[in-house]
Amino acid sequence: MEKEVAIITGAASGIGQAIAIALSERNICTILVDKNPCTETIQQLTGDFFEHNGDINSEAFIDEVITNTIKHFGKIDILVNNAGTCGRSSLETMTLEEWTRDISTNLQSTFLFIQKVVYPHMKEQKYGRIINISSISGMNGGAISEGETVGRSGPAYAASKGGVIALTKWVAKEIGFLHITCNSVAPGATETGITKGVNYEISNQPINRMGQPSEIAAAVAFLASKEASYITGQVLAVDGGLYM
């Protein structure tokens, strides 16, 4: 059987690294995309891979990733839009530069990757799985801070992740007839570099602990599978039961 091919953005560490490992364990060829070297991820892969280092805010770089993926593997079956930034400035102090960074990295790059992977590649093969990593912040506006802003994900992060969720649903309606699904996984408080040093209030969660990247990756792997062929436009919260 011909191996599937997956593009994973933000694959150098954290959730993206865990997703790349999980897909590789399922005999899927992984295209690792990150501004930083994916050395630690590569050491844990069990299958074929290709690495691209660059800025996903650059349309030219996105074109390069897709062109080289088609050149080396001939197709793209799975797209995981995971790369992201998280500014923690308050509404009062956030600068336009900070706002633009989160909106561009989290939302604009997701749009561009989807557009350029679907047309023409997934459209021509009439098959594909798109999974966008959003966040509980995109569903509930982020944690209640009670006047404290340090550590709380900022308004640009919440807005961008909410946008990812809306985009996911829009795309699902647009391309379902092509046998391409588009879903989102929304992590809650998860132990990654982005959350390091942040004190999350998790005592009120039904599962009162931090999540692990591997738990997010397991949800992504399911949505990327053929078994998930009748699931689209959904947001799967992996959050210890916080949002229900």
User: Annotated catalytic residue: which of 119, 157, 200, 243?
Assistant: 157
Higher pLDDT, 62 or 146: 62
What is the residue extent of each domain of the chain? 5-9+53-238
Contact assessment for residue 85 and residue 104, using Cβ atoms and an 8 Å cutoff: no
Give me the half-sphere count of Cα atoms (radius 13 Å) on the Cβ side of residue 107. Answer: 19
Region 69-90: what's the mean pLDDT? 95
Asked if pLDDT for residue 20 goes beyond 50, the answer is yes
pLDDT of 204 reads: 81
Asked if pLDDT for residue 180 goes beyond 80, the answer is yes
Average pLDDT, the chain: 93
pLDDT of 151 reads: 60
Catalytic (active site) residue 157: yes
Asked if pLDDT for residue 155 goes beyond 70, the answer is yes
CATH code assigned to 5-9+53-238? 3.40.50.720
Higher pLDDT, 193 or 112: 112
pLDDT of 59 reads: 98
Burial class (CB in 10 A: 0-12, 13-18, 19+), 199: exposed
Asked if pLDDT for residue 146 goes beyond 50, the answer is no
pLDDT, tens digit (0-9, with 9 covering 90-100), for 25-66: 999 999 999 999 999 999 999 999 999 999 999 999 999 999
pLDDT of 199 reads: 73
pLDDT of 182 reads: 99
Residue 1 confidence class, pLDDT cut points 50, 70, 90: low
Residue 189 confidence class, pLDDT cut points 50, 70, 90: confident
Tell which residue, 140, 81, 135, has the closest CA to residue 109: 81
Q: How many CB atoms lie within 10 A of CB 14?
A: 22
> Strand pairing of 49-53 and 180-187?
unpaired
Asked if pLDDT for residue 150 goes beyond 70, the answer is no
Residue 202 confidence class, pLDDT cut points 50, 70, 90: confident
Q: 3-state SS of 65-82?
A: HHHHHHHHHCCCCEEEEC
Residues 6+ apart with CB under 8 A from 80: 6, 7, 8, 9, 16, 19, 23, 131, 132, 133, 220, 224
pLDDT of 29 reads: 98
pLDDT, tens digit (0-9, with 9 covering 90-100), for 80-121: 999 999 988 889 999 999 999 999 999 999 999 999 999 999
Residues 6+ apart with CB under 8 A from 73: 5, 29, 31, 48, 50
Of all residues in the chain, what percent carry a pLDDT higher than 90? Answer: 80
User: 28-32, 67-71, 204-208: which has the minimum mean pLDDT?
Assistant: 204-208
Highest mean pLDDT among 108-117, 149-158, 189-198: 108-117
Residue 144 confidence class, pLDDT cut points 50, 70, 90: low
